[in-house]
Amino acid sequence: MLNLDLHSHSIFSDGTLTPESLVARAAQRGVAVLALTDHDHTGGLPAARAAAAARGIRLIDGVEISVTWHGQTIHILGLAIDAGDTALQTGLAATRGGRIERARKMAAAFDALGIAGSFEGAQQFADNPQLIGRTHFARFLMQQGAVKDIKTAFKRFLGGGQPCYVPHQWTSLSDAVNWINGSGGVAVIAHPGRYPLDTAQMRALLAEFRELGGAAIEVVSSSHKPHQPATFAAQAREFGLAASAGSDFHSPQEGYHDLGGLPALPHGCAPVWRDWEAAQCEVLNVKC
């Protein structure tokens, strides 16, 4: 069994490592198959691919698309996408298009609370200005000493219902799945345990996602509590979906789960990565 990690971020979205450093860290930690899945952007993939080739690890070209489904933000991973696909790139550009205006509104909310300069402050942390997001504001708040950690920044200011949360209309579930599938990739519901959906709503999401051509759900995620993988494994089986696993790593600091080292999928899951693992086993000349 190889070490696989199919969800990670670089400075092309809200991670703090360059694609090269991210791949180097993954290799050091024994990851054999890594997906780089920046939010709404694929700019880190060429550098990550070169670094992965140099270290003998397999890179899966990925992206994490922001979706609004019945007023709720849902993240859909695209794995093994073709980042050169025109429809995918046009769609990603449209999805991230509203981020700067949204950041301005967030900054106005911080101004109203007497926290000045947050737009420029967040910008300093956003290497990719198109991808400015809440994590960059959280880093600014930490730098200012307004909060002790990223988690508290979301809890007090940036999370849903908090004073600096600005509702945003992302793309639709069907568009995200179609862009991913149209580029030859597979669509995966990221960290299903993070959404404030009741059981009926989650089942509706899974049914609709499957109907639209979605392939898998992230059964193992650093966002999940210990009992959740078993629940999502059962739902994956019920809805005919495969299973994925990812650390959702963003930074060596800030308390994120590190790359690799994820628990195994619960028994009875169909891993979304079967072909990728087999190909890497062949390269490494190991049995699996």
Contact residues: ligand AMP, CB under 6 A: 14, 39, 66, 133-135, 150-151, 154, 159, 250
136 binds Mn ion per the rule CB under 5 A: no
- Residue closest to Mn ion, measured at CB: 75
Shortest reach from residue 237's CB to ligand AMP, in Å: 27
What is the DSSP pairing of strand 72-79 with strand 186-189?
antiparallel
How far apart, in whole angstroms, are the C-alpha atoms of residue 277 and residue 123? 38
Q: Which is nearer to ligand AMP, 135 or 235 (CB)?
A: 135
Phi, psi of 264 (to 5 degrees): -70, 155
Dist. CA 276–CA 288, nearest whole Å: 12
Q: Minimum distance between the CB of residue 64 and Mn ion, rounded to whole angstroms? A: 5
197, 205 Cβ separation under 8 angstroms: yes
Residue of 25, 75, 96, 134 interacting with Mn ion (CB under 5 A)? 75
Binding to Mn ion, residues 183-222 (CB under 5 A): 190
Minimal distance, residue 170 CB to ligand AMP, in Å: 8
Query: What does the alpha-carbon distance between residue 196 and residue 73 come to, in Å, rounded to a whole number?
Result: 10
Tell me the Ramachandran region of residue 234: left when phi exceeds 0, alpha when psi lies from -120 to 50, beta otherwise: alpha
CB nearer Mn ion, residue 33 or residue 190: 190
Q: Closer CB to ligand AMP, residue 196 or residue 226? A: 196
249 neighbors 258 (Cβ within 8 angstroms) = yes
Q: Which residues bind Mn ion (CB under 5 A)?
A: 14, 64, 75, 190, 248
